[in-house]
């Protein structure tokens, strides 16, 4: 194979590179053409049978017993590209299929279809009219190219109900990738991506969410009223949601206060129940309330809970008995989770909605900001009970609920809200917190847990917040990671900078940071008493003579020298070659080379008082590299 490729290149023939899983066929949503292809077909007059008429309260069932819905059927083995736009077509996916959305838009309007088939004694049920719907055991790989939309209306009309923007019910699997964008908006009580409305068996078609994985792309997912942005429709809990990358914004819906309802749904997670009250939540049917797992391993995630619901986790009321069946695992990414406000009680940033426990929350990596929702009703004797935790239970939670929070790894977690990460103080209701390793800011105070922490994502210490690194503990900022310090760092231990520290509005107290593998300098080791970097005086107030003493000699060698301030910025950087004939002076042995630094930085300004790290790298005439380091104090 290598010889054949070399021959082609020699002849000037460049082999065509074919991307894996490139769509083999294209369907244009605007024209409805072509009408069929490999494992897919389009029926412009596909119909469903309805029961009742236009006055039966369901609105979308015509006087005649037939409802026409143009439908694109994508079946097992299909690999199809969708382009163009439509306000009428729905896409139904079954089997293992691949779809590429290439600047495609489907914005449907209306209700779901009430079906009276099959006529074998089975109860009537709704057929979703989602713009895209997975059915049976469908397994869809969805690739995003350009700007795409799957929506039930524009998110404002009360006539667009019950169907998700992208329906992924229990038993189906969706995997999203690509570098494009998807905006998904559900109808009333339906998720942006995930499940549809739930309700009473035999009358509503709702099922919990299935398996949803997002690997890349920009996703904006919005649920309406009691439905989540990504996850479940109203009265539903279930499914597995995994986010490995991408830029994700998920918003849960809130109910219409004008109707006398209150509540909402999680940004990512469960659907909610309306009019739940503490101690007597409105519970859905148990087969619709299944264990739910949310895994976040990377990406940028912003999740906003609807009324009284968690940013990530549970929804308002209704799921109290199943709160322990919500498991949230965070191993990486930059996550901001904001609980929803409510007139009764707020939702947690991560955990439970109002009256609901937080379930099981495990954080081992990433940068996490969790903000509890507020309590908006005045006149309560103890309004603190109505605030949602940053991490843990929702506000007003009944006693005896389960809240388990484990911090064990390299995460940096910020929690805020009146109760922070501890659930409201009520009898037998507390958060079982295990903090083995990581950094946890409870309000403005950052606590360091474990002997060493190596954050996996960029993080910012905001003004007014303080992180203390205790004696004997080590914080390492690895290459590719940035710590922005706008607050205060008190370093009583060790801070090693292999990445970057920024933020000139912050304060640094205690030990200066150690540099690790700075640019163009590597393999740093301490100088011993005979060789390395030496100073005529230390600290200094004026020009300083820096002597580099190498055990292998200086003549005919290459020298690189760099000086860093305590936040890792280069203030002096030079490299040059010393020829064999260079006169070093009779008083200098062949192993020493003096360098003079005038205490000016690369911009020509005198540096501030403080401690500086000097690193020298010597490459001798035999190609061997020797690296030395020393600290230098500047004090005027």
* Chain CA centroid to CA 452, Å: 24
Q: Is the pLDDT score of 425 beyond 60?
A: no
Confidence of residue 516 (pLDDT cuts 50, 70, 90): low
Task: Return the pLDDT at 296.
Answer: 97
Distance CA 544, CA 222 (A): 62
In this prediction, residues 327-348 reach a mean pLDDT of 88
Chain centroid offset of residue 173 CA = 20
Per-residue model confidence (pLDDT) at position 183:
96
Q: Residue 14 — pLDDT band, cuts 50, 70, 90? A: very low
Predicted local confidence at residue 302, as pLDDT:
97
> In this predicted model, what pLDDT tens digit does every residue of 267-297 receive, in sequence order?
999 887 644 433 333 444 444 567 789 999 9
Domain boundaries defined on the chain: 458-515, 532-634
The percent of residues in the chain predicted with pLDDT above 70, rounded, is 70
Q: Is the pLDDT of residue 387 over 80?
A: no
For residues 568 and 497, is the Cβ–Cβ distance under 8 A? yes
573 forms bridges with which residues in the sheet?
Answer: 562
Q: Which fold has domain 532-634?
A: Immunoglobulin-like (2.60.40)
**Poorest-pLDDT segment among 76-80, 116-120, 333-337, 547-551:** 116-120
At 618 the pLDDT is 78
Per the model's pLDDT, the better-predicted residue between 305 and 158 turns out to be 305
Closest listed residue to residue 168, CA positions, set 199, 185, 192: 192
For 325, phi then psi, to 5°, come to -90, 10
**Contact (CB, 8 A) for 429 and 394:** no
CA distance 232 to 250: 12
Mean pLDDT of the region 107-114: 64
In the predicted model, what is the mean pLDDT of the chain? 76
Q: Contact 294/237 with Cβ under 8 angstroms?
A: no
Taking the CA atoms of 270, 275, 280 and 283 in sequence, report the sign of the dihedral they define: negative
Work out the widest C-alpha separation in the chain, in whole angstroms: 109
Report, as an integer, the average pLDDT of 116-138.
65
pLDDT of 517 above 70:
no
Region of poorest pLDDT, from 365-374, 478-487, 528-537: 528-537
Cβ atoms 448, 424 nearer than 8 A: no
Per-residue pLDDT tens digits for 199-238: 543 334 567 889 999 999 999 999 988 889 999 887 777 7
Q: What is the pLDDT of residue 420?
A: 40
């Amino acid at each position: 194979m290598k010889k054949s490729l070399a021959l082609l290149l020699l002849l000037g023939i460049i082999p065509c590179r074919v991307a894996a899983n490139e769509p083999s066929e294209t369907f244009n949503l605007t024209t409805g053409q072509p009408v069929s292809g490999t494992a897919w077909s389009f029926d412009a007059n596909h119909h469903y049978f309805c029961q009742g008429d236009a006055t039966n309260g369901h609105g979308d069932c015509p006087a005649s017993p037939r409802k026409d819905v143009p439908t694109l059927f994508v079946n097992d083995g299909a690999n199809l590209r969708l382009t163009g736009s439509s306000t009428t077509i729905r896409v139904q996916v079954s089997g293992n299929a691949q779809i590429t959305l290439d600047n495609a838009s489907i914005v449907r309007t209306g209700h779901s279809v009430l079906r009276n088939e099959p006529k074998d004694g089975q109860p009537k049920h709704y057929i979703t009219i989602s713009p895209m719907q997975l059915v049976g055991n469908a397994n869809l790989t969805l690739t995003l190219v350009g700007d795409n939309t799957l929506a039930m209306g524009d998110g404002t009309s009360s006539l667009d109900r019950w169907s998700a923007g992208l329906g992924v019910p229990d038993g189906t699997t969706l995997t999203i990738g690509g570098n494009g964008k998807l905006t998904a908006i559900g109808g009333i009580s339906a998720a942006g991506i995930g499940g549809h409305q739930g309700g009473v068996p035999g009358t509503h078609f709702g099922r919990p969410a299935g398996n949803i994985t997002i690997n890349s792309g920009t996703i904006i997912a919005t649920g309406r009223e009691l439905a989540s942005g990504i996850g479940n429709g109203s009265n539903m809990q279930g499914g597995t949601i995994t986010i490995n990358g991408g830029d994700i914004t998920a918003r849960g819906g809130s109910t219409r206060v004008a109707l006398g309802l209150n509540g909402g749904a999680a940004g990512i997670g469960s659907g909610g129940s309306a009019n739940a009250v503490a101690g007597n939540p409105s519970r859905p049917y148990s087969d619709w309330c299944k264990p739910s797992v949310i895994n976040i391993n990377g990406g940028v995630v912003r999740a906003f809970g609807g009324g009284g619901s968690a940013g990530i986790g549970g929804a308002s009321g209704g799921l109290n008995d199943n709160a322990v069946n919500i498991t949230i695992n965070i191993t990486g990414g930059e996550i901001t989770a904001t609980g929803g406000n409510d007139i009764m009680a707020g939702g947690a940033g991560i955990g439970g909605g109002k009256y609901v426990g937080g379930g099981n929350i495990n954080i081992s990596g990433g940068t996490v900001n969790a903000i509890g929702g507020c309590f908006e009703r005045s006149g309560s004797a103890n309004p603190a009970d109505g605030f949602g935790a940053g991490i843990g239970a929702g506000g007003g939670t009944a006693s005896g609920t389960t809240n388990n929070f484990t911090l064990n790894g390299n995460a940096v977690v910020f929690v805020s809200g009146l109760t922070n990460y501890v659930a409201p103080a009520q009898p037998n209701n507390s958060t079982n917190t295990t903090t083995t390793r990581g950094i946890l800011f409870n309000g403005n105070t950052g606590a360091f847990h474990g002997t060493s922490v190596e954050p996996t994502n960029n993080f910012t210490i905001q003004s007014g917040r303080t992180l203390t690194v205790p004696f004997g503990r080590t914080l390492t900022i690895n290459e590719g990671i940035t710590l922005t310090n706008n607050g205060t760092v008190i370093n009583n231990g060790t801070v090693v900078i292999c990445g970057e520290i920024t933020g000139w509005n912050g304060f640094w107290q205690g030990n200066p940071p150690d540099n690790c593998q700075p640019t163009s300098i590597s393999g740093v080791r301490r100088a011993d008493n005979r060789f390395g970097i030496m100073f005529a005086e230390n600290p200094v107030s004026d020009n300083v003579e820096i002597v580099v003493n190498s055990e292998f000699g200086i003549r005919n060698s290459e020298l690189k020298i760099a000086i860093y301030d305590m936040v890792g910025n280069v203030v002096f950087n030079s490299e040059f070659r010393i020829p064999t004939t260079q006169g070093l002076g009779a008083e200098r042995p062949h192993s020493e080379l003096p360098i003079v630094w005038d205490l000016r930085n690369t911009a020509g300004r005198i540096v501030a008082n403080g401690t500086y790290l000097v690193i020298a790298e010597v490459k001798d005439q035999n190609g061997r590299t020797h690296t030395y380091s020393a600290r230098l104090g500047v004090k005027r």
